[in-house]
Amino acid sequence: MLTIGPFGPPVLQARMRETPEDFFVEELPLFEASGAGEHLLLTIEERGMNTAFAAGLIARWAGVPESAVSYAGMKDRHALTRQRFSVHLPGRAAPDVAGLETGDLRVLDAARHARKLQRGALRGNRFVLRLREIVGDRAVIDARLQAIGERGVPNAFGEQRFGHGGANIEAARAMFAGRRVRREQRSILLSAARSELFNRALAARVADGSWETGLPGEVWMLGGSHSVFGPEPDSATLAERVHRLDIHPTGPLWGRGELRTRDACRALEEAVLADAADLRDGLERAGLSQERRTLRVAVAGLAWTWLADDVLELRFELPPGAYATSLLATLGVVMDAAARSGGSINPTGGVERHLHGDPVGVD
């Protein structure tokens, strides 16, 4: 069945991640190293290596427990990535960085810093993606990319949040029903449950078109921040800010407390999440509070080059917490060569599992 995404029908079929170099992601730092302190700030390039594995290598190299190694964000192993790590080395010199390097790990920079690197301490991520074996009309694909650059994309949580085949959601339900899990697993399952509810609300907003325009009773978020405001009456000024991507509609990150939305927006959220009482109640009992996440994410610096008739290179930046696959999903069906079951990115902005079944997705 042909599925319709936020910009219309799919405009291409393609493959991605034939090699790690086809999926390049680089963290955009939030600050410069202070030059002194108890922490060593490392900028690492990893090929075919996820963040947790790299952190383990760094811990062994530095002779510290893994808890002494911190990072701002998680990166997938099916990629070429550049990211920061901090290592707590109070009162001691760092080992020679040459001892850390391997064929798949390079140290690009090392400097002392006064504080531990906190999760989320980055401005965003820069991507360079190559799509291969493209089937589709070049002019139509170019037009779709132009629209994405102008309007942004749905800010869905990627399928990686939910585990293979959505297993994390069922595991979360079991945890909420009383099954004991490890502390680190609990955090993963809480995130998965919250993301599931957000994606359901986003799917409904993509379906009615309000993911980029808002609804009566909307709560808005200022672009580039977590500051929210509203609801407030419609106005020409509000509409103009929405149009230029200065503010965005939001969806619920579920927890304790009352929904801030009102009128049509609140009615939609309550209706869409009515049959997920087990997830809602579990998140509330876990102590999480109501928060908001933007339904739309602006794609900064979007540019593209046709390297061959069937090879397209995309370059763009996204804020922290946004998924590159949300952009790819608005183009069409992108088969992921690295997926365990030959999965594809769906053509409905990353939210198809709540509209047309449960395809396997990737991040």
Token pair, residue 223, equals 């672009």
Q: Indicate which residues carry an active-site annotation.
A: 76
Measured distance CA(159)–CA(326) in Å, rounded? 10
From 59, 61, 45, 56, select the one nearest 108 (Cα to Cα): 45
Residue 126 β-bridge partners: 26, 317
Amino acid letter, 36: A
Token pair, residue 98, equals 């040459």
CA R_g for the chain: 21
C-alpha torsion 19→120→58→36, nearest 10: 130
CA atoms within 13 A on the CB side of 163: 14
Contacts by 339-342 with C-beta closer than 8 Å and gap 24+? 340/164, 341/164
How is the beta sheet containing 228-229 ordered, strand by strand?
228-229, 220-222, 247-253, 291-294
Measured distance CA(347)–CA(311) in Å, rounded? 19
Residue 24's H or E segment, with its range, is strand 23-29
C-alpha torsion 135→138→141→145, nearest 10: 130
- Compute how many other C-beta atoms are within 10 angstroms of the C-beta atom of residue 242: 18
